[in-house]
Structure 1
Amino acid sequence: MTSMDLKFVILLIFPIVIGSLGNFSLLCHFIFLYFSGCSTRSTDLILRHLTVANLLVILSRGIPETMAAAGVEDFLSNVGCKLVFYVLIVGKGVSFSATCLLSVCQAITISPRSSRLAELKVKALKYIGPCCILLWLLHMLLNFRVPMLVSDKWSSRNMANIIDYQYCSAIISGKGNTWFFTVLSLSHDILCLKLMIWSSGSMVFMLYRHKQRTQHIHRHKISSRSSAETRASQSILILVCAFVSFYTLTSFTYFLFSVYDKSAWWLVNTSALTIVCFPTASPFILMTREQCVCRPLWRK
């Protein structure tokens, strides 16, 4: 193992360990609230699915990448490669969709009674569970071709059309039905991004209006602590901003694969780091912004 490999292993282990602990702690917290009969928010179910998806992304990309950089060889078979990448892509897609769903649901939740969104509050609560299950089914079906495009590194033959991950290889093809699935995937991403931008803008506007009304009515009795809904909205806004930033960075790294050598060491490792950034940061954004989450986790 070279010095560069050692530095990358150390750099990648940090988000793997921290991100796994953060998501697992948050997941345990929500499971505890569910079975203990405590009052939960409508978005808690979405957060449970989001943390599971984040864990899958961190473990399925981070651990194989670290083992490969550490010099471990032939630790994944052809079937193992297909399974790892399928879990990675499905988890990444569910994380994307769950963040979008979380943002939209929170915008509906904090909408005033006079708003058109208020009519969707009751209906939204009923359909959150089925929507979360639908997200998993949708991405499992949407990415059914991923195992066909992935193999162990020794099974690859056309070296001009593959990305070499050291432990596995992903085939890139611009022919046949590949363009159809690419357009389908991009349409999903664009739709989710538009919904996140719309819901985030709506939340910012509603929080601003709420603050103005509060200051006008209770000019001398302003609480030093914001309401639970305000804190939740702020955390989700930060979460969405973080996701859009890391998504843009990840998309740029994949664009570089079409410009530079697809098996370039620095490019493959950079893509691994950018993919695990959001799953690592998201639980801590939620834990630091929402006191109702932090207290059961860190205080007795």
Structure 2
Amino acid sequence: MQSDLFARGMLYLFLTVVGVPGNTAIILAFLLLLYQEKQLLPADAIVLHLASVNLLVVGVRSLLETLASFRLANIFSDVGCKAVIFVYRTSRSLSIWLTFVLSAYQCLSIAPPGSRWASFRTVVAHYFGVVFLCLWLINTCMSSAAVLFSFGAKNDSSQTTHSINVQFCYVHFPSKLSKEANGAAQVSRDVVPMALMTLCSVIILVFLYKHSRQVKGLRGNRSKQRAAKAVVALVTLYVVLYGVDNGLWVYTLTVRKTMRSPLISDLRIFFSSLYAALSPVIIIVSNRKVNGRLKCIVQEKPIEEKATSLCTA
């Protein structure tokens, strides 16, 4: 095996080992919560949805890239590349927008009771199903170019200067204009929620700073502060990793093909998948509902009244 393929396989293996169990654990924890309480709070529903799309990102991209790098399996034919890149781009962009929705909802959650923002939060929570549906439709449509322009790496007869090589697949655009338009759309799709979630995080941090002394010692407010800090941590992780990802994407679009290294595409995919792999760690550590139910699952205690009350608290 070539050394570069081995190194590439190890990187994606790391993402798979961290991301798949982490996101799966969050999904199981919230499904258990839903089974016990028959409903989920809006913030919990967002996190469950976020973990689901992150699992798609890691599973569809990192796991398959790992198998292909170690030559254990390879589905990257023309049809396989179209499917993998389409699902990856759709789930990746959904991960970005759901992180924004989570930060925006957390920002609304710190609004004083009775205020207009608190009333708006209630309205938004009521229509979360519509919000999720719109996000799926919009991001699915924006990823449709992957179906048209993605091909297997073995089918290299039509590669031109407008092609982007992603190791086992490549994306061939018919013209420079279509390539740049697609790239600009992807960057905009990332930058817009990045700016909005950064603004929400700044508002949350200002609130935490101003009210840290006033709410000291109050259990309910400590819980609200913990949730707010977790959201800020997720946003910070997103901004750093996707900032690097989009910087590499702009470089890919602007540099000549002859000067472009395949390593750039590998780094792009790695950094864009790293958020999906690491964000579950922040959620599990900071969310008491998640780690509490995971403890119940791991310990597998007998069904007793005491244990039941602990797991449903």
Question: One fold, TM greater than 0.5?
Answer: yes
Could you tell me which runs of 5 or more consecutive residues in structure 1 were left unpaired when the two chains were aligned.
216-221
**1:238 pairs with 2:230:** no
**1:94 pairs with 2:89:** no
**1:134 pairs with 2:129:** no
Work out whether residues 32 and 293 of structure 2, in 8 Å CA contact, stay in contact via their aligned partners in 1. Answer: no
The one of 281, 285, 296 aligned to 1:284: 281
Q: Deviations over 1:2-42 (max 9, x none)?
A: 23322332232122121100001101111111122266432
Amino acid at match of 1:109: S
Residue in 1 aligned with 2:168? 167
Tell me the number of residue pairs that the alignment of Structure 1 and Structure 2 aligns.
294
Amino acid at match of 2:136: W
Amino acid at match of 2:267: T
Work out whether residues 85 and 146 of structure 1, in 8 Å CA contact, stay in contact via their aligned partners in 2. Answer: yes
Residue in 2 aligned with 1:212? 213
**1:271 pairs with 2:272:** no
Amino acid at match of 1:259: V
Distance between the aligned counterparts of 1:114 and 1:73, measured in 2?
A: 57
Distance between the aligned counterparts of 1:185 and 1:273, measured in 2?
A: 17
The one of 259, 282, 295 aligned to 2:292: 295
| TM-score for both structures, normalised by structure 2 | 0.85
Matches within 5 A, 1:36-185: 36-37=36-37, 40-71=40-71, 75-113=75-113, 115-156=115-156, 157-172=158-173, 174-175=175-176, 177=178, 179-185=180-186
Distance between the aligned counterparts of 1:135 and 1:175, measured in 2?
A: 29
Please give the root-mean-square deviation of Cα atoms over the aligned residues, in Å: 2.5
Identity %: 23
In the TM superposition, residue 242 of structure 1 has moved relative to its aligned partner by 0.3
Work out whether residues 26 and 51 of structure 1, in 8 Å CA contact, stay in contact via their aligned partners in 2. Answer: yes
In the TM superposition, residue 227 of structure 1 has moved relative to its aligned partner by 2.1
Could you tell me which runs of 5 or more consecutive residues in structure 2 were left unpaired when the two chains were aligned.
300-313
Residue in 2 aligned with 1:218? none
| TM-score for both structures, normalised by structure 1 | 0.88
Amino acid at match of 1:42: P
**Match of 1:111, SS?**
coil
Closer, same or farther: CA 144–29 of 1 in aligned 2, 3 Å = same
